[in-house]
Structure 1
Amino acid sequence: MKQLRLTYRAEPTLAAFHNSNAFVRGVMGPLGSGKSSAMCMEILIRAARQRPSPDNVRRTRFAVVRNTQAELRTTTVKTWQDWLSQGERGPSASPPFTSRLRQDLGDTTKLDAEVIFLALNRAEDAKKLLSLELTGAWINEARELPYDIVSALTGRVGRYPPKRLGGPSWSGLIMDTNPPDTGHWWFRAAEQETPQGWAFFTQPPALLASDSGYLPNPQAENLENQPLGADYWLRQVHGKSNQWIKVHLLGQYGDLMPGKQVYPEYDDEHHVALEPLGAVAGTELVLGWDFGLTPACVITQPLPGGRLLVLNELAETSMGIRRFARSTVVPFLRCHYPDHTFTSVGDPAGTARAQTDERTCMEELAKAGIPTRPARTNAFAARREAVASFLTGGHDDVPAFLLDGSCAILRRGFLGGYCFAENSDRPEKNSYSHLHDALQYAALHAQDSHERPVARRGIRRRERQPADGFAGY
């Protein structure tokens, strides 16, 4: 067999990654920093170091995982082919893509590395891994995959080659990613509570922020492999949001999510309060509701002059509206807003009677002490525009829409978690949609009640005020 010869120089962060023997290793960095190439080389390095079996063959089997078939074929498989096309049989033409690398290593032993490329993007996809016997695995762009896939893969590595063929010299899981948001499992594992046997490596940013804009970072990795040099990163700045630049070029954790945003009008730096919001005394609250077994309630406060404060989000799963209202919402209102009156509006579908006891959601809320009216419509276009009208109102110093920083699910939904379903003009039903539906009903009511132009006085940094009694209950 013809020997495979490759030229590869690991950047400092990636060299530290290669030198680690941690069971689970992850590399995070900006776009174009050489992460995927390093993962390909790590597979080859570990395959070449595998102890030979009695017939002098170094056998390994790796799984390579990406979130979709399209991304797998056009990015991950392409990177593998660019590096390892010599002596390789495959990848196969149809999924699951497989590849086989057989090489004479020149030391009387032979390399036999099998690679299986899989698209897995949901927790239930973990069952597809149950029959795999692997040496190791690579998760490409780990921020796109749920933790269940990571957990399942850690149980499938270290199982090949079998003991009669020498067993694996090394086994483990390697991962690369652009920075995820701070609610992601990667952030928790890397920054808050790192599991035993795990190690994380963070590459330098591609660019540095300055008062005059962005500058090339002299410590950026993979610069010499960029045909355009630092211009590869600099020219991507134009037309991008600050959050996108923060994540993809500065290499920092940021609340940027995939999916076509329902609200492109949303600006995280403009619409999130710098300090906790407090309800304005003497002005009623508006509660917005979404029903079902994933009930949600958003507490807002429309202000004279056309502004809308979003103070709190409350949501549960696998719970009916009766228990949600009585055990979650009412105690919260009593504790935080005892002196405020309120108006409560919800999904008009809440007037339908249940098949069990024939009570409507509106009747259940009334019995809990929260009389609620149906919103004037549940048409999605009208609901979206009600929120968008506040997002685009106000001015630079006093936005018409202001979100309390504690509303983490709403915030991540605005950033892309609440997104349009593929090939649809309707939002995807997911963990963000229930609270956003609730917000839309509150915004519809607030929109209907506002007639005057936007006020010019702000309460952006008002501290939360204590209160003594809940007048609305």
Structure 2
Amino acid sequence: MKRAVEKPRFDIFKFTPPGPVAASYIQSEGPIDLILGPWGSGKTVATVFKIARHSSNLFPVCKDGVIHVRCAALRDTYREMAKTALSSWHEFFPKRGPYTAQEPGAYSGGQDRPVKHILEWNTIRQWPEGPKETLVRLEMEFGAIGNENLDSFFKGYEISMGWLNECDLVDESVPGRLYGRTARFPPRVEIMEWEGDRLGWEKDPDSGIDVIRLPRIIMGDYNPPDPANWTYKRHIEEPEKWPGFTFFHQPSGLSPQAENRIGKSRSQYEEEEQAFGGSKHPDAQRNVHGKYAAKKQGTVVYDQFDMFRHRSDQNLDPVRELPFYMGFDAGGTPACAIGQFMPNGQLRGLREIVSLPDTVTGPERFAAAVMEVLLRDFAGMACAGAWGDPSAWYGADKEHGSLAFMETVAQALQVNIQPTASNDIQSRKEAVEWYLKGNIDANTPRSIWDPRLKYTIGGFASQYHLTKQATEGKTDRLEIAKNHYSHIHDAWQYLCYGYRGPRAVRDEAARMGRPTNVVPMRSVQAKTDFDIWNV
């Protein structure tokens, strides 16, 4: 057995985390923990100490009296690895530092090839007889995926945990592949049996024998990329599909809650913001404010949207004692927005119904999809107002009894849908902006949005943007790029403009619908091709 007293003690408790978000990230025990934030917010340093913490506290003592841990740190290229993760690692664990193992080959590699660094230190661990100084032996392996075949790359990996530095730059399958190689070190037969009381037991799928359950952790750090990246999909758009992922999102570098102020000052972030071209520039949004932002050309319309403040951290259910309101966009890919206005004036964005991007949908099928949502989530509640695109009331052949798009939807839903007084895009946009700009009080934003609103939030973040011509100032009109995010945002604009702005209505539209506008307490079945993000 190795003598623990021969090694220095590594006191992880002397480390001060960059901030509360980073502290939660360091303490989290997986399965897959990812931290994102602006440049210089301490993400990489936090990951270094997360590895050290788990090595000292979490992994089991083996029969030789040593805590054996193996961690793989991966990046897209070796040169980028050397500039980022490896550089930060050496700040706390130098090649010839006090924690490097005193044996040949304890540090090897480099120069566009893998690096291996074996470290040893003492920590205090609980043994059956009480607290005891125990040796930790950590094998760090730094590598790069590059253009290698992923199946070949991961074959044979046997690790305790893994680190994906700048994880947005690797293929979206890498976290899962790397996770599949965890819990393979140390071998279970080498672990002290009494560790099973702490870690638990599980049945080995191959032998059917009960074995000690090993921790399985993948961690990663990154600056928020373009929303087209896989990290955005798992963090914002479809978190319910990826329950193993936990995201730790640090505040803006200019926020009063900014992290790592010791390492990077507010004035440095302000200088960077100006160098990028101002707060609205995508690079400033990503690297200064820590927000997802589109790299493609086109100015985001709602730069007031703040993912920290406006996106709810939990699903929002309707307040049944209050009425709800609806906004409709017509056309070949119609959309419906449903929200409530609280007594304090706050808008709560609750549900969205959108057509599939490649589907042209008529008013009957669209109404059926909306009715499914109303009956499921709003049954027995009153609709106090509904508004839509004024142009959707035109074009019907009145002489032969045909109805316009919005009239058909209104009759099918038995809801009074009113045309907004104007279809002016600037007025509609300002109606939504009013709910994004202000606060009810110091801690309450004027609007809050259900995290399941995939297209609404995606549009706010980046995808509801100006056309290239409008961005470059080649037209004096406010021109919006049409995509499958734009239709739901038109619907929210009609809702907010109808609620706040002029409420002139056509007599025919006003007379349509049930007198009380109450959703019936019944069920229907309707087949649709709709993409409904409202579960």
SS of aligned partner of 1:14: helix
Give CA deviations for 1:377-402 in whole Å, capped at 9, x if unaligned: xxxxxxxxxx9999867245478xx7
CA–CA separation in structure 2 for the residues paired with 1:190 and 1:407: 18
Output aligned runs, 1:420-431, within 5 Å.
none
TM-score by structure 1 length? 0.53
Match of 2:8 among 3, 19, 40: 3
Structure 1 residue 225 and structure 2 residue 263: aligned?
yes
Output aligned runs, 1:217-296, within 5 Å.
217-226=255-264, 229-241=265-277, 242=280, 243-256=282-295, 266-269=297-300
% identity of equivalent residues: 21
Alignment-derived partner of residue 90 in structure 1: 107
SS of aligned partner of 1:77: helix
* CA root-mean-square deviation: 3.7
Output aligned runs, 1:167-246, within 5 Å.
169-191=214-236, 192-194=238-240, 195-207=242-254, 217-226=255-264, 229-241=265-277, 242=280, 243-246=282-285
Give CA deviations for 1:24-75 in whole Å, capped at 9, x if unaligned: 1111111111110011111111111222211111111111011111110111
Output aligned runs, 1:374-393, within 5 Å.
none
Alignment-derived partner of residue 343 in structure 1: none
CA–CA separation in structure 1 for the residues paired with 2:151 and 2:478: 47
| Superposed displacement of residue 126, structure 1 | 4.5
CA–CA separation in structure 1 for the residues paired with 2:246 and 2:9: 30
Match of 1:23 among 31, 51, 56: 31
CA contact (8 A) 1:56 1:108 kept: no
Residue 12 and residue 269 in structure 1: after superposition, are their counterparts in 2 closer, same or farther (change >3 A)? closer
Alignment-derived partner of residue 436 in structure 1: none
CA contact (8 A) 2:75 2:164 kept: yes
Q: Which amino acid aligns with 2:122?
A: D
Residue 96 and residue 388 in structure 1: after superposition, are their counterparts in 2 closer, same or farther (change >3 A)? same
Residue 76 and residue 168 in structure 1: after superposition, are their counterparts in 2 closer, same or farther (change >3 A)? farther
Alignment-derived partner of residue 135 in structure 1: 160
SS of aligned partner of 2:226: coil
Residue 197 and residue 51 in structure 1: after superposition, are their counterparts in 2 closer, same or farther (change >3 A)? same
Residue 396 and residue 81 in structure 1: after superposition, are their counterparts in 2 closer, same or farther (change >3 A)? farther
CA contact (8 A) 2:32 2:246 kept: yes
Alignment-derived partner of residue 52 in structure 1: 61
SS of aligned partner of 1:201: strand
Q: Which amino acid aligns with 1:141?
A: E
SS of aligned partner of 1:225: coil
Alignment-derived partner of residue 448 in structure 2: none
* Greater Cα offset, 121-130 or 81-90: 121-130
| Superposed displacement of residue 244, structure 1 | 0.9
Alignment-derived partner of residue 404 in structure 1: 482
Alignment-derived partner of residue 42 in structure 1: 50
SS of aligned partner of 1:238: helix
| Superposed displacement of residue 5, structure 1 | 4.1
Deviating above 6 A after TM superposition, structure 1's stretches of 4 or more consecutive aligned residues are 276-279, 387-391
Q: Which runs of 5+ in 1 are unaligned?
A: 208-216, 258-265, 271-275, 280-313, 315-327, 333-386, 409-473
| Superposed displacement of residue 129, structure 1 | 1.1
Residue 116 and residue 277 in structure 1: after superposition, are their counterparts in 2 closer, same or farther (change >3 A)? farther
Alignment-derived partner of residue 141 in structure 2: 116
CA contact (8 A) 1:123 1:148 kept: no
CA–CA separation in structure 1 for the residues paired with 2:66 and 2:478: 69
CA–CA separation in structure 1 for the residues paired with 2:331 and 2:80: 45
CA–CA separation in structure 1 for the residues paired with 2:253 and 2:258: 5
CA contact (8 A) 2:40 2:263 kept: no
| Superposed displacement of residue 121, structure 1 | 4.5
SS of aligned partner of 2:268: helix
| Superposed displacement of residue 181, structure 1 | 2.4
Residue 397 and residue 157 in structure 1: after superposition, are their counterparts in 2 closer, same or farther (change >3 A)? same
CA–CA separation in structure 2 for the residues paired with 1:128 and 1:201: 28
Alignment-derived partner of residue 104 in structure 1: 122
Residue 18 and residue 391 in structure 1: after superposition, are their counterparts in 2 closer, same or farther (change >3 A)? closer
Q: Which amino acid aligns with 1:3?
A: P
CA–CA separation in structure 2 for the residues paired with 1:253 and 1:222: 20
CA contact (8 A) 2:162 2:182 kept: yes
CA–CA separation in structure 2 for the residues paired with 1:152 and 1:27: 19
Q: Which amino acid aligns with 2:168?
A: R
CA contact (8 A) 1:135 1:168 kept: no
CA contact (8 A) 2:66 2:135 kept: yes
Alignment-derived partner of residue 79 in structure 1: 88
Q: Which amino acid aligns with 2:171?
A: P
CA contact (8 A) 2:10 2:122 kept: no
* Greater Cα offset, 98-107 or 135-144: 98-107
Residue 47 and residue 8 in structure 1: after superposition, are their counterparts in 2 closer, same or farther (change >3 A)? same
CA contact (8 A) 1:120 1:126 kept: no
